[in-house]
A and B are shown apart, each in its own frame.
Chain A
Amino acid sequence: MMGNANLTRSADKAEAILNRDVYEDFLYLEAQLLDEWKLDEWLALFAEGATYDVPTAGAPDDVSSSEKLFYISDDYFRLGHRVKRLNQKTAHSEWPRSHTSRLISNMRILGSDDSGVHLRSAFVTHRSKGTATDMFCGHHLHTVKMVDGELKIVAKRSMLDLANLRPQGRVSIIL
């Protein structure tokens, strides 16, 4: 699993696994909100205390941000600021906005424990601005759980299945 893999997870209080299509539609919703730059609504999909990680290209799924350098390792506070920043024109890398298109596929439910239901999906995200269109591909690892009757993201880790960020250069969008 991801993030808190070192803690022994309790299977007794495992989060109930819902129908597959609920999770698929949720991931498609997330992708659409991001493509449409509805970042506040996107942030609302995250539970309080959630995290968002993007390890360096090609890293293993369980890499730790305390030991290795990542590209992004946001706690909930920083994630909120990432959205705040991207909502401003002074986030120069993304103003004017780049065009993005996110494909989500190959979703599998890996299992469940008391931290939530663990999902794995493949992604291909294109970002286009000016004369350059870049492609980012890899797999997302989401942990989701019901909070007050709504499905929320507790942790999202986007693993880039690339040798490096050449020519992409930046991860200034949310993958």
Chain B
Amino acid sequence: MVEQMDLTKSQEGKWVREDKKRGLFKVSRDAFTSQAVFERENERIFNKCWLYLGHSSELENPNDFLTRNVAGHELIFNRDRKGGFNAFFNTCPHRGAIVAREECGNALGFKCFYHGWSFNNNGKYATRSPKGVYPEDFGKEGDSVDLSRVPRLEQYRDFHFINFDADAISLDDYLAGSKEILDIVSDHSPDGMEVVSGVQNYSIRANWKLLVENSFDGYHAAETHDTYFTYLFDAIGGTPEEAMAKMTGQSNCYDYGNGHAAIEGEAPWGRPVGRHIPAWGDKGKEDIAAIVKELEERVGVPMAKRISNGDRNAVFFPNLVINDIMAITIRTLYPVSPNEIHVSSWAFAPKGEPPELRKRRLDNFLEFLGPGGFATPDDVEALESAQVGYGNAQFAPWNDISRGMLKEKPANDDEEQMRCFWREWARRMEAE
């Protein structure tokens, strides 16, 4: 990155400009529109970074499997007969057809519908043919007739990640400080957490990095989500003043290293794990008091306070979002082109949660999050609007991500968390 920022000139292969002294941070809009950038991202980011695949709770039993597209690759994520986790490319080594064609299930093996090639669920070729049709020893390792394995599969606290780069650093090293977020959300419940059934698969006509920014953007909440807050203050019971008075005003930004970052604060909505709202009544108050008490005994009072009362938005570079707010959402967002994103959004909840509490949590989720919520559609509108605005990039070439740069301690409505993302993006994309 150049020291002296000359915004009148673009630079080949450089998109991010930072002037720490002046407090200016700019990103070229070419990063959001260029086909060349999109291709370079596939090569330098999606083929090199750890990408979220799924959670252990989605494969509860041995022989469970699910199919999922990750960064444009159709994959099988399964447990074999011994219960071990595997990730295979979902393509028949014969002539390419998709082998596992259901969204999820339980199977001891897989059979390709095209010619009947069959495989053990540990990926091994398991098809016998009449004598003379194939070589006598057909099917040994070097023959490439087993299901191909994704080069790397590792997990942290039951969050499974893959990497297409066989030589990548370990997941543990890669996650660096962001493991804290995975710990916090995993520790919500003494009985473990699970992904709730029912994924929201939708798309946005914008560049994926716009959604990365939006996912941990505290600054936009009041303006973009005005109608949600109007609803919220009516829904939570009591007056807005009472709700605001309860808030301590904590506001933090965490740079976890390697491009991962999070913001943390305190919002007026109820949190099923530990922040009551009058609308949940006395029973709700009791439920939450019991949850908080258990939490304090298990993780200590300071962390219990953080878990129960802290709202957090985290991005794990490049594209895993975990927002622990009025409910917990796990979200992935993949570019299919410079101006289209495929989003998958799941709800994350305590295992064994009673139906009444699960309903309350899911209602909390739906009020704000997802394609039918009171908030997400307006975010989608903002991102699509920006993408349309980038049609003017030749004459209005720069995004500004300077907010809070000169502060000793950036707040959750500043943009330092986005700068963490962009610095890592630039480190990978702008290298020779």
Which residues of A are interface residues toward B (Cβ below 8 A)?
54-57, 59, 63, 65-73, 77-78, 81-82, 84-85, 88, 90-94, 130, 132, 164-172
Contact = CB atoms under 8 A, between A and B. Distances in A.
A69 B200 contact: yes
8 contacts: A67-B355, A69-B197, A78-B363, A92-B378, A165-B203, A169-B371, A170-B376, A170-B377
B236 to A, nearest CB: 12
Contact of B231 (A54, A85, A93, A169): A85
A68 B388 CA distance: 35
B224 A165 contact: no
Nearest to B204: A169
Contacts of A59: 198
A66 B231 contact: no
B117 interface: no
B359 A71 contact: no
Interface in B374-399: 374, 376-378, 380-382, 384, 388
A167 B355 contact: no
Contacts of B381: 92-93
Contacts of B347: 69
Contact of A69 (B224, B342, B346, B382): B346
Q: Could you tell me the dominant secondary structure of chain A's interface residues?
A: loop
Contacts of A168: 202-203, 371
Contacts of B342: 166
A169 B202 contact: yes
B108 interface: no
Interface residues of B, number: 43
Given A91-B227, A169-B203, A66 B372 contact: no
Given A66-B355, A72-B366, A81 B234 contact: yes
A68 B205 CA distance: 27
Nearest to B223: A90
A170 B342 CA distance: 12
A69 to B, nearest CB: 3
A121 B198 CA distance: 24
A66 B370 CA distance: 16
Contacts of B243: none
A72 B198 CA distance: 12
Given A66-B359, A69-B196, A78-B367, A164 B202 contact: yes
A68 B198 contact: yes
A72 B374 CA distance: 10
A54 B224 contact: no
Interface in B184-241: 196-205, 224, 226-228, 230-231, 234-235
B365 interface: yes
A147 B381 CA distance: 39
A133 to B, nearest CB: 12
Interface in B313-355: 340, 342, 346-347, 355
Contact of B372 (A67, A68, A70): A70
Q: Which of A68, A71, A84 has the most CB of B within 10 A?
A: A71
Q: Which of A69, A130, A132 has the most CB of B within 10 A?
A: A69
A67 B227 contact: no
A164 B203 CA distance: 9
Given A71-B366, A90-B227, A92-B381, 8 more contacts: A57-B201, A63-B198, A65-B362, A66-B359, A69-B199, A69-B370, A167-B340, A168-B202
A94 to B, nearest CB: 8
Contact of B200 (A56, A63, A73, A93): A56
A66 B203 contact: no
A88 B231 CA distance: 12
A172 B202 CA distance: 13
Contacts of B355: 66-67
A81 B381 CA distance: 20
